Each structure stands twice: as structure tokens, then as C-alpha cells.
Copies of this chain bind each other. A is one copy, B any other.
Amino acid sequence: MSPSPNRFSDLEIDAVYRAIAERRDMRHFKPDPIDPETLQKLLLAAHHAPSVGFMQPWRFIRISDKTLRHKLHQLVEEERINTAQALKQREDDFMKLKVEGILECGELMVVALMNDREKHIFGRRTLPEMDLASVACAIQNLWLAARAEGLGMGWVSLFDPEKLATLLNMPTGAKAVAILCLGHVEAFYPRPMLEEENWAKRQNLDDLIYDNSWSDKKEENKIT
């Protein structure tokens, strides 16, 4: 098995793995603005994500209005309380976590699924939710590019999408799926914040890989 002639250089390969390994879901930001040229590059990276049937269902709403930013923060705060109550025995643990950096980050953006998606059938007849998968790939591109640029990002999904749609005058059929906090950070967390805070543990990768069937997972099925 010789290496592929289409392979990047070792240094380039390491850089891609480094971005993947050091990307974090950030909640702590410095208020400094993002250089507009860099922001444009990040959005272009997002736009080069794969999309089902090349439908490119992603829409980006930049929140530059201060009052609107506060309204978004309030919306998330409402859902934070609702989530805490729904978590029952973990309510106190959850309430101690910092779950967003909406008021601090240099750039705030909402990412939404476009309206009129029902006419896109390619790859979606049995799995209509592939549009969301495409948008998630776009956000992951943006996230990795931001990490390489030294910028932090946090994906906040603690909000009522209908209330957010009203705030942003979204048309029927469009749906917000992310409030993205983007900006400069003091430092990146060494491990995922929810791991650091003992909310959950990193699972063992081998336990998540099966061979030909969901049920036949055995210790000897390791691929190394």
C-alpha cells in the first residue's frame, strides 16, 4: 500500500489534523473585532462545504445591531432556564456551566436553513434532514478555518427557533440552527469544556466502531 500521489505534504497533513484536534466550542471571548478580510475567508470556507444535491442551503445573518444582540442573548437565557429545569437532577450542574459568549464575542452570526427546500429532492427523498447535515458541514469548515486563524467559535443551540425567526424576519420555511459566537480568545481550552467541567467523558473510539452489524461488537474487532 503505497501512499496516494494526491496526498498533501506531511506538514500540510499535520496542519489539518492539528486544526481538528485543537478546535474547541468556545464560550470565553475577548471583545476585539474580527478583521473583515479574515471573516470573508471564513465564510468562503463555509460556502465550500459539501451539500446534498449541491443545494447550498446555508444562510448567514450577521448581527451587528447591539439591541438585537441583547435580544438574542435574552432568548438564549430563557432557553437556558427551560433546559435546566428539563434536566431535573442535573439542573444545578448545568446552571454552573457557561454556555455562550453572546455579549462578549467580536462577531455574532445566525446560521439558518433557507426556505423553499422542499423542491430539492436529490439525496433527500428518504432523508430530508440532509439539508441540516450540509449546513453543519459548512459550520464545521468555518470552525476549523477559524481555529487555524487563531479565532474561537461557539455554536449555541439553546434557543426557540420560532422566536428567533420572528426576531430576524425569517420567511416561512427557513429555520435558524445556530447562533455562532466568533472572535478572539485569550486561550483555547486544552480539552472540551464539558469534559473539563466533568459534564461528560470522551468515549472510547473503539467502542463506537462496529463490523458489518450493530450487534457483533467485540474487543477483537479493533481495526489497528
**Interface size counted on chain A using CB atoms at 8 A:** 119
B127 touches A161 (CB 8 A): yes
What is the chain B residue whose CB lies nearest that of A94?
Answer: B122
If A171-B214, A224-B36 touch, does A150 touch B61 (CB 8 Å cutoff)? no
If A20-B144, A35-B1, A55-B200 touch, does A60 touch B210 (CB 8 Å cutoff)? yes
CA distance A126 to B38 in the complex (A): 32
A61 touches B211 (CB 8 A): yes
A162-205, CB < 8 A from B: 168-171, 174, 177-178, 184-185, 187-188, 192, 194-195, 199-200, 202-203, 205
A25-84, CB < 8 A from B: 25, 32-37, 39-41, 43-45, 47-50, 52-56, 58-65, 68, 79, 82-83
Q: State the oligomeric state as a number of copies.
A: 2
**For residue A79, which residues in chain B have a CB less than 8 angstroms away from its CB?**
125-126
CB distance from A150 to the nearest CB of B (A): 3
**For residue A205, which residues in chain B have a CB less than 8 angstroms away from its CB?**
43-44, 47
A50 touches B177 (CB 8 A): no
A residues sitting closer than 8 Å to B (CB atoms) are 1, 3-9, 11-21, 23, 25, 32-37, 39-41, 43-45, 47-50, 52-56, 58-65, 68, 79, 82-83, 86-87, 94, 121-127, 129-130, 132-137, 139-141, 143-145, 147-152, 155, 157-161, 168-171, 174, 177-178, 184-185, 187-188, 192, 194-195, 199-200, 202-203, 205, 208-215, 223-224
